[in-house]
Amino acid sequence: MNMMKALAPSTILTLMLSALVGQAGAGTGFLNLRSFEIGGYVVYWSWTLFFAAMAINACLLLEMARREGKATAEPNAADA
C-alpha cells in the first residue's frame, strides 16, 4: 500500500526535476532523460529518477507509519 501512496509524489517530483534538468540541456548520463511531446509541449522523463524518488517516498511513508503506530500504542499501554 505504501508503494501506491508513494506513486503520486514520485511522479510529481520526477516531472519537476526532469523539467529543470532537461531545460538546462542535460539529457544523457546517469538520469537518462527522455523528452517527448504531448499536445505541443515538451515533457522530460527519467525512469532512473522516478524509481529513486519512489524508493525514498516509500521509505518515508513506512517510517511515518511506524512512528504513528508507536504513538497510538503508547497511550493504550499507559491505560492498563
Tens of pLDDT, residue by residue over 52-79, are: 999 999 899 899 988 888 766 555 555 5
| Average pLDDT, rounded, for the chain | 84
> Given pLDDT bands bounded at 50, 70 and 90, which one contains residue 5?
confident
pLDDT at residue 11 in the model: 92
| Number of CB atoms found within 10 A of residue 8's CB | 10
CA distance readout (Å), 50 to 13, 14, 17, 67: 8, 5, 10, 26
15's CB contacts (< 8 A; 6+ apart) are: 43, 44, 45
| Entry pTM | 0.76
Give the count of beta carbons closer than 10 Å to the beta carbon of residue 47: 12
What pLDDT does 78 receive? 54
